[in-house]
């Protein structure tokens, strides 16, 4: 004859074991890597001037704290206040001269986006406002 009490005890102990095993401590989350995975362009500066022929130009320059996992940069520009930002070009150097302006342009906004060797697009630089001369 099957002893129901002993079977109940076995199930009870099994339940307790499962309960204790399932009460594990929470696993900590991973470290955030996206902040410095690709170095962020800093110290973005611009110099606006006009050539002898009367053409407007802007010389942009920036710096990075490290060159680890850094392939190139993409420069974004917005002309005047009402327009949207558009990609200006990809560049590997940390300086860029923009000469593509019309005589009516009076203000430009720039930011630089770093691109990593692993193709991860890093954090943008601060946006810079430039008054054209």
Q: Which stretches of the chain bind another protein, using CB under 8 A?
A: 1, 3, 5-6, 9, 12-13, 16, 19-20, 22-23, 25-27, 29-30, 32, 34, 38, 119-124
H or E stretch covering 43: strand 42-50
Give the three-state DSSP class for 84.
Answer: coil
The nearest distance, CB 23 to another protein, in angstroms, is 6
**Which CB atom, from 47 or from 121, has the smaller least distance to another protein?**
121
Q: How far apart are the first and last CA of the chain?
A: 102
The nearest distance, CB 27 to another protein, in angstroms, is 7
**Which CB atom, from 58 or from 115, has the smaller least distance to another protein?**
115
**Which CB atom, from 13 or from 89, has the smaller least distance to another protein?**
13
Is residue 116 exposed (0-12), middle (13-18) or buried (19+ Cβ within 10 Å)? middle
The nearest distance, CB 108 to another protein, in angstroms, is 23
The nearest distance, CB 58 to another protein, in angstroms, is 25
How many residues are listed for the chain in this entry? 133
Separation CA 39–CA 122 (nearest Å): 7
**Which CB atom, from 107 or from 121, has the smaller least distance to another protein?**
121
The number of CA neighbours under 13 Å toward the Cβ of 123 is 12
């Amino acid at each position: 004859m099957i002893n129901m009490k002993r079977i109940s005890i076995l199930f009870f102990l099994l339940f307790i074991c499962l309960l204790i095993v399932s009460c594990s401590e929470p696993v900590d989350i991973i470290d955030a890597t996206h902040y410095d995975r690709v170095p962020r362009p800093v110290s973005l500066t611009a110099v606006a001037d006009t050539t002898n022929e009367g053409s407007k130009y802007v010389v942009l320059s920036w710096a990075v704290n490290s060159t680890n996992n850094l392939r190139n940069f993409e420069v974004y520009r917005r002309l005047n206040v009402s327009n949207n930002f558009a990609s200006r070009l990809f560049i590997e150097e940390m300086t860029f001269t923009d000469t593509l302006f019309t005589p009516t342009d009076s203000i430009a906004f720039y930011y630089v986006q770093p691109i990593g060797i692993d193709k991860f697009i890093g954090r943008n630089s601060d946006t810079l406002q430039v008054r054209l001369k």
